Amino acid sequence: MVEVLERGDISFFYRPSVQPANAVEVEPGVQSFFMVLSPAGGERHRRLRIGKKRMPAPSGERLWGRVERVGSLQRVLADQMEAERYVTKTRGERYQPAARPIGEGCYAFVHHDDHTHLVYRIDRPELEVVPEEIFVPDAASHVVLFKRVPPAKAIWTTAGEPSRLDVEGAQLVLVGTDDEPEQQLGIDVLPPSPDAARWS
């Protein structure tokens, strides 16, 4: 049995590596990679940092993630979308480029049998070229593992709801399972037609 628990918009970003302050061009490299989940029908947004700076491969790869910020879109993105300059004792003045959007689309949390999937499809790519270390397929399905509460010998569990991710500091593991979520779960990830409004 398949039950849609939550729908919304998803956006992917990466922040380029720190550069010398006098660099003429930003060199390739990834400082961090994150996605923003914006559930439909509300003003709540979640910023999730993915530890390996990419999404899991559909071969069953497991990648750790953490909820960094929850709240208005302005709060969630406030410290990421502006470049920074700062001074270090050993390397002098440094330049941290602003985060760059990779793509936007729609997502759904879907309960399937005894576990939950995060499925998404990108329909608005932002960049034609991204650093090689970033892997964000146009569509994917990931089994979500939640941190067990209270703690036990097995740290991760499939038992959990999307609302667990409304707490800053919440951790999860994404397990790559498929790159055709509609076929795998029998649902539409995107709105029903190109002219339809986004989830509201």
Measuring CA to CA, how many Å separate 147 from each of 86, 136, 172? 36, 24, 6
Per-residue pLDDT of the chain (200 residues; tens, 9 = 90+): 899 999 999 999 999 998 877 776 666 789 999 999 999 988 999 999 999 999 999 999 999 999 999 999 999 999 999 998 888 877 778 888 899 999 999 999 999 999 999 999 999 999 878 899 999 999 999 999 999 988 888 999 999 999 999 999 999 999 999 999 999 899 999 887 555 556 55
Q: Give the pLDDT confidence score for residue 151 in this predicted structure.
A: 85
Q: Give the pLDDT confidence score for residue 129 in this predicted structure.
A: 84
The three-state secondary structure class of 166 is: helix
Domain boundaries, the chain: 2-185
Give the number of C-alpha atoms closer than 13 A to the C-alpha of residue 89, restricted to the C-beta side: 0
Q: How far apart are CA 188 and CA 57, in angstroms?
A: 21
What's the pTM value of the predicted model, to 2 decimals? Answer: 0.91
